[in-house]
Amino acid sequence: MSEEDIRRDIANAVPYRPGDAARAAEPEVEILPGSAFPPEEMRWLWRHWLALGKLHLLAGAAGTGKTTIALSIAAALTSGQRWPDGSEQPGGDVLMWSGEDAIGDTLMPRFLASGGDPDRIHFVYAARDNGRSRPFDPASDMPRLMRAAERLPGLKLLILDPVVSAVTGDSHKNAETRRGLQPVVDFAHTLDCAVLGITHLAKNSSGRDPLDRVAGSLAFGAVPRGVMATVKPADPNEPRRLLRTKTTNGPDSGGIEYTLIQAPVPGRAFTAQRVDWGQPLDGTARELMAVEEPNNHGPSAVGEAETFLRETLKDGPMATKDVRAAAQANGYGWRSMEMAKKKLGVVAIKPGFQKPWLWELPAPKTADDAKDRNPTDLLRPLDSDR
């Protein structure tokens, strides 16, 4: 550096002022003019259904084939099939995590029966801590998954089933749900792929605005850039419906008919469920959902909650927080669960001072069972959270 350069640097130097170091360490807010953000067209994986870099939701009642629909979409993407509406698509890899279905006997048979390429679908199998394998947890492991998924350059779609598992707190609270979904949103943006989260519609909600029917917090309808819904008509002879209830930069209407069928699994001597796509549908989501069976014609919410709770507890006591999480993941309101608990006679157990509260089905009412049961085990809870 020449003497002239040194003189110029000294002349242009900013004088040091006390407090400069402290101010440099303070958090900052970056403000940019609108000119820093040139307008961009939405980039679609499936036009008006799935956008690249965005989170989407697929909601529906139990038994409407939500997971099978997701696998049908995955199969089309991995094998270069046309989309259900007949449009072409670029092809790509798919990454999937399921907390409810086994890969070997459920997910892969359905995927293969739908014509998917097994080399282009990848499953989140486990996570590792200090060399030890454990179940993957979407609520805490999304940053790790993002780093692992960077090794899939052709990745175009991530499927999370159910997406409510990404929320660590109360999925009925907006702020906690938004915080829980943010790492999923970041995954889509950073890896420039579409994310499809699967969830439930709230029980006994027919007739309400479609977005308001998504189980849990209103944030489940607000945060995703697209929301789809599945509908099972009251008439069993009518095909089911996949509908658009929200699409950012696209129509919030229209849909496609579909039927769930059993199809051969290539190379195997058994069949698996797949989707047979039908005709396109016109109309708003609310209009197209009007074919559902009215609430007062079906089993009550409490009756369904009873069946769910009995099945959940049949193998033994379960922590109350786990019962709540399972109920939320399956679209049951906590009030319905508490009423079902009372009707079934479910007891709350506190096995130890620092142990969590457990829910347990009542013991058989026989003389021997009553004699053997320790009454100190049946401590009654002080509030509805136990």
Helix (H) or strand (E) holding 10: helix 3-12
Number of domains into which the chain is organized? 2
In this prediction the pTM is 0.72
Of the three residues 229, 262, 295, the one that is the final residue of a domain is: 295
Of 73, 72, 93, 111, give the one whose Cα is nearest residue 150. 93
Q: What is the pLDDT of residue 382?
A: 37
Examine the domain organization and report whether 125 and 215 are in the same domain: yes
Q: Is 232 left (phi over 0), alpha (psi -120 to 50) or beta?
A: beta
Is residue 36 included in any domain, yes or no?
A: no
Examine the domain organization and report whether 180 and 74 are in the same domain: yes
Q: What is the pLDDT of residue 5?
A: 67
Of the three residues 240, 273, 295, the one that is the final residue of a domain is: 295
Query: What CATH number corresponds to the domain at position 125?
Result: 3.40.50.300
Examine the domain organization and report whether 177 and 279 are in the same domain: yes
CA distances from 335 to 59, 252, 295, 314, 324 (A): 21, 32, 17, 21, 11
Examine the domain organization and report whether 100 and 112 are in the same domain: yes
Query: What CATH number corresponds to the domain at position 305?
Result: 1.10.10
Q: What is the pLDDT of residue 23?
A: 60
Is residue 245 included in any domain, yes or no?
A: yes
For each of the chain's 386 residues, which pLDDT tens digit applies? 666 766 666 666 666 566 655 566 677 899 999 999 999 999 999 999 999 999 999 999 888 999 999 999 999 999 999 999 999 988 999 999 999 899 999 999 999 999 999 999 999 999 998 889 999 999 999 999 999 999 999 999 999 999 999 988 787 788 899 999 999 999 999 999 999 999 999 877 777 888 888 988 888 989 999 999 999 998 989 999 999 999 998 999 999 999 999 999 999 999 999 999 999 999 999 999 989 866 533 456 677 788 888 888 988 898 888 888 787 767 677 777 888 888 899 998 888 777 888 899 988 765 454 444 444 443 444 344 44
Is residue 217 included in any domain, yes or no?
A: yes
Examine the domain organization and report whether 371 and 282 are in the same domain: no
Angle between helical axes of 320-329 and 334-344 (0-180°, round to 10) = 120
Examine the domain organization and report whether 196 and 128 are in the same domain: yes
Is residue 3 included in any domain, yes or no?
A: no
CA distances from 261 to 126, 152, 228, 240 (A): 31, 32, 21, 12
Examine the domain organization and report whether 338 and 255 are in the same domain: no
Of the three residues 295, 327, 345, the one that is the final residue of a domain is: 295
The two three-digit tokens of residue 226, written as one number: 């697209």
Cα separation, 245 vs 233, whole angstroms: 17
CB 366 within 8 A of CB 329: no
Examine the domain organization and report whether 86 and 126 are in the same domain: yes
Q: Residue 73: exposed, middle, or buried by beta-carbon count in 10 A (0-12, 13-18, 19+)?
A: buried
Examine the domain organization and report whether 91 and 146 are in the same domain: yes
Backbone angles phi, psi at 98, to 5 degrees: -130, 125
Examine the domain organization and report whether 270 and 371 are in the same domain: no
Examine the domain organization and report whether 157 and 100 are in the same domain: yes
Examine the domain organization and report whether 118 and 83 are in the same domain: yes
Is residue 161 included in any domain, yes or no?
A: yes
∠ CA(287), CA(293), CA(299), 5° rounding? 145
Q: What is the pLDDT of residue 304?
A: 78
Residue range(s) defining the domain that contains residue 242: 44-295
Of 295, 164, 172, give the one whose Cα is nearest residue 224. 164
Q: What is the pLDDT of residue 45?
A: 97
